[in-house]
Chain A
Amino acid sequence: MRAGRRWRGLAPLLALALAGVLPPWPAGAQQQGAGVHAALPGVTITYDPVKDPVEKSYRRMVRGMDLFEREHARSPHGQLRFKLLPRKRGVDLDRLELLVLGSTVEIPLDVAPDRTFVLPRDAKAWTEDAKVTPDRKALTMTWRAEVRTPGLPAGTRRLGDLRLECRVGMEAGLYSNSPSFITRIFSELSTTPAYCGSEGNRYLFFADRPIFGVTLESGARREMLPAVRLWAGAIDEPHLERELPYCDCEVLLDRTFFLPLADPGWPDDTRVVFDYMEDRHASD
């Protein structure tokens, strides 16, 4: 399976040959081989059926890790992992095979049950400009950086962790919205970490479960996010059904939110508190 993925570039030619479109063998060789045809052993040819797989640049993801190291002060106890999320209905991310794949290097990655993984630093993979590739098609799943401080109360995150997630995610090139949604969600400057510090940025975060509300708490200050910052801003999107397929939040709409990352009035220690939809009958 893995070897097949390395040779997947030859798969279209192989398919044409099998279909009889390409000559199977040079004419002279065919004549020479005709007499021994019956004596040849059977050959089983396999190749990876995943065409157009999701791929990320290993180098860019390592640059994201470098940024995390440089800016660790935002999240002194935070730990960085990368996360895979579904983008289309019915996509099964269990039993997923994830590889760092270069021209000769091949490193299988362990994906945890929560679909997070750690990327190892490997000089050969860097030199070969390897790709990080799962056995899933493009646009069926999406990626995020995940920075978590251990020991926080359930249903809470730390704003500094999320700021760093945004910066690492942008540096690592993990965003994957299609052009029409990029126009609305992201600006032209949105391909760099600087986007995370720009006023009005709309970097999409995904909560662990569907959210009804999100509140920021810092000391005595407490403020609920307005509805326009929840559910990918769907409340202001009159053509939601038409636009949604272009957003990597397509099947995660009820978990999606964005934060005032650029507001210096909210320090990194600000607590982000989630009110989940299915925690029933609570009101504020």
Chain B
Amino acid sequence: MQAIDRSVFAALLASLFLAGCATRGGGWFAPDEPDSPFGDPELTVPAAALLVRLGESRKDEVQGRLGKAEVVRFDSGYEAWVYRARGARDPRAAPELVLLFDPGGVLAKMRTRPAYGVGAAAG
């Protein structure tokens, strides 16, 4: 009886472990499908790039359209806003949208980094 309890418990533990690993956004057995960095999780990096305009878009407007970015602020007044997919097993396989705002808060530069390598996400 005690042996049966132990095997049931082990099976339960194993199923919980596998379920946990198969969640979206990474894990040992998960497909290499990173989490979306955008407010709208269906938005892809190339599609997001079409929603902003160089020399026109301002920070509040971009945040409203794309969601909150990871931001690096420089002494020069420039800001880099990074939207990067998280949770990919291979960081090279995670696409990115990187925006540069000038000290006046206007979008000065933009680049999209595609996913590279095996298992690259379409993002």
Specify the main secondary structure of chain B where it touches its partner.
strand
Q: Does A253 contact B (CB under 8 A)?
A: yes
In the complex, identify which listed stretch (A108-116, A182-190, A219-227) lies at the interface while the others stay far away. A219-227
Which residues, 246 to 284 on A, are CB-close (under 8 Å) to B?
Answer: 251, 253-254, 275, 277, 280-284
Which residues of B lie under 8 Å from residue A251 when comparing CB positions? 75
Q: Does B55 contact A (CB under 8 A)?
A: yes
A284-B113 Cα distance, complex, nearest whole Å: 8
Cβ of B82 to closest chain A Cβ, rounded Å: 4
Report the contact-size class of chain A (Cβ under 8 Å from the partner). Answer: 20 to 34
Q: Does B110 contact A (CB under 8 A)?
A: yes
Q: Give the contacting residue for A227; candidates B74, B75, B98; CB below 8 A.
A: B98
Report the contact-size class of chain B (Cβ under 8 Å from the partner). Answer: 20 to 34
Name A284's closest neighbour in chain B (CB-CB).
B111
A254-B100 Cα distance, complex, nearest whole Å: 12
Say whether A212 contacts B82, CB under 8 Å.
Answer: no
Say whether B116 contacts A235, CB under 8 Å.
Answer: no
Which residues, 119 to 137 on A, are CB-close (under 8 Å) to B?
Answer: none
Q: Does A231 contact B (CB under 8 A)?
A: yes
Say whether B72 contacts A231, CB under 8 Å.
Answer: yes
Say whether A283 contacts B109, CB under 8 Å.
Answer: yes
Say whether B109 contacts A227, CB under 8 Å.
Answer: no
Name A279's closest neighbour in chain B (CB-CB).
B109
A282-B113 Cα distance, complex, nearest whole Å: 14
Q: Does A78 contact B (CB under 8 A)?
A: no
Q: Does B76 contact A (CB under 8 A)?
A: yes
Say whether B72 contacts A212, CB under 8 Å.
Answer: no
Say whether A227 contacts B84, CB under 8 Å.
Answer: yes
Say whether A277 contacts B75, CB under 8 Å.
Answer: no
Given A226-B96, A227-B96, A235-B72: A284 in contact with B82 (beta carbons within 8 A)? no
Interface residues of B (CB under 8 A from A): 49, 54-55, 70, 72, 74-76, 78, 80, 82, 84, 91-92, 94, 96, 98, 100, 108-113, 116
Other than A227-B98, A227-B113, A231-B80, give 6 A-B pairs with Cβ distance below 8 A.
Answer: A224-B111, A226-B96, A226-B113, A228-B91, A231-B72, A234-B72
